[in-house]
Amino acid sequence: MKHILMLSTGGTIASEPTDHGLSPELSGNDLLALIPELEGLCRISCKEILNIDSSNMQPEHWIRMAHAVSEAQDAYDGIVITHGTDTMAYSASALSFMLQNLQKPIILTGSQLSITEEGTDGKRNILDAFRTAVSGIPGVFIVFCGRILCGTRAKKMYTKDFDAFHSINAEDIGRIREDGTVEVKDFPRQIKDFQPDIRLNPNICTLTLLPGMDPKLFDTVLDLGYDGIILEAFGCGGIPNQERSLLPCLKKAQEKGVIVVIVSQCPYEAVDLTIYDVNVQAARLGAVSGLDMTLETVTAKLMWVLAHTIEPETVKTMMHTCYAGEFTI
């Protein structure tokens, strides 16, 4: 019988009503006690590493999770992480870059309703997460509402619907059927040795472009001393270059050595900085395409890359190197 470790971090799944709204109160063992269907599926150990709403999740918490996973690799056949849904995609992406070439399953899951609420999706999601962990599929995945999603492709698309997470610009890795059968599609698997690289540079920020945005906002952000800025641009990467042009800001960023990565406000398909005047000029001033990566993935990847180097050309090369299935080649 396989031995699976559950790491609990809080989130809605572990929440109980308080006089100031739902708040994480239940331990990992409390969650497991409510799912008798787990009996006989595998041996389970449980460790609580956090008990927070995932809106409070920080890069330092990702590092703590990554260390916990790395330290458990030899002792367990897989790991399930219970997590709040709001930042789960960020956490899955961060773990994917810090824990490459995994030979075992790392499964994140949570719920839209507390596990103690009537009609909760929490029990099903935890059970499905353990079923997926027992299947032995190696890598970092989110399991939610019967879907198995690559950790660097998942995005929360609904605030309340049970089918909250979808795979962006890639197919689901697999599904868990109603009878508990785990079906996994063929996907590229790592054959290199597991090598944790647990470091992040959180000194980045994101700016969402709006029509008429004052370039002074960009200049103010530049003056705050960030190592990287993610710009959520229009369409396939459009940056205003006439009235209220942002090109002088990009030039200033280039001169300061600040990395600017362009992602699209469109959830599907890729940034392409080779098509229009409004993005070709941005590329010439050093802007880096985020390709078809999600904002969550670009955020985690840029933090990981900047922990290795702040040299612009090396950063660009690393951002355009596929480490964990994060973009379409």
Render pLDDT for 194-218 as a digit per residue (tens, 0 to 9).
889 999 999 999 999 999 999 999 9
- Per the CB < 8 A criterion, the answer to whether 305 and 319 are in contact is yes
The SS3 call for residue 64 is: helix
Mean residue pLDDT across the chain = 96
Q: Which of 9, 12, 152, 294 is catalytic?
A: 12
The answer to whether 12 is a known catalytic residue is: yes
User: Which pLDDT score, from 0 to 100, does residue 270 have?
Assistant: 97
pLDDT digits (tens, 9 = 90+) for 64-94: 999 999 999 999 999 999 999 999 999 999 9
Taking the model in full, what pTM does it have?
0.96
Q: Assign residue 154 a region (left: φ > 0; alpha: ψ between -120 and 50; beta: otherwise).
A: beta
- Per the CB < 8 A criterion, the answer to whether 97 and 301 are in contact is yes
Rounded to whole angstroms, the Cα distance separating 192 from 173 reads 20
Q: Give per-residue burial for 133-149: e unless 16+ CB within 10 Å, then b.
A: bbbebebbbbbbbbbbb
Rounded to whole angstroms, the Cα distance separating 138 from 74 reads 14
User: Which pLDDT score, from 0 to 100, does residue 190 have?
Assistant: 63
User: Which pLDDT score, from 0 to 100, does residue 193 have?
Assistant: 84
Rounded to whole angstroms, the Cα distance separating 168 from 327 reads 10
User: Which pLDDT score, from 0 to 100, does residue 329 have?
Assistant: 87
Point out the residues of the chain with pLDDT beneath 50: none
Rounded to whole angstroms, the Cα distance separating 67 from 81 reads 13
